Amino acid sequence: MPKVRVGDIEMFYQDVGRGDPLLLIMGFGGDHMAWALQMAEFSMRHRVIAFDNRGVGQTDAPDYAYTTRMMAGDALGLIDALGIDRAHVLGASMGGMIAQELALASPGSVWVVNRPCGRWACGSSRRRPTPSDRS
């Protein structure tokens, strides 16, 4: 199982396919396996990299609070370690927030950020807030 040192952690990742790199960032509750079906399809046209965020799956879990900015730094460290200059980025749930932080921190490293499952998507059982909720 491939791991790479990124900052203060050993990070687990999978790297499959060929073509333009596509970095898949899962939310905090899931590991790289949550992307299994998409990886098979995407790897037909892309080099697909999926990884376990810090504190999840096979990546180290340091005993302190994590931020999305810190986790974006992990993602950037991973693509740097793999020799990738620029990648498409797809984030699900909190992975979408991490993807946004990555794009803000290193815009030259990202072609496209897609976050299909933001805070109010992916079958959330909570009602979407309305302007009247703010008062």
* pLDDT tens per residue across span 81-117: 999 999 999 999 899 999 999 999 999 998 877 766 6
- SS3 state of residue 101: helix
CA dist., res. 13 & res. 53, Å (int): 9
Q: Which residues of the chain have pLDDT under 50?
A: 120-130, 133-135
C-beta separation of 49 from 38 below 8 A: no
pTM: 0.84
C-beta separation of 97 from 91 below 8 A: yes
Q: What is the pLDDT of residue 132?
A: 52
CA dist., res. 8 & res. 92, Å (int): 24
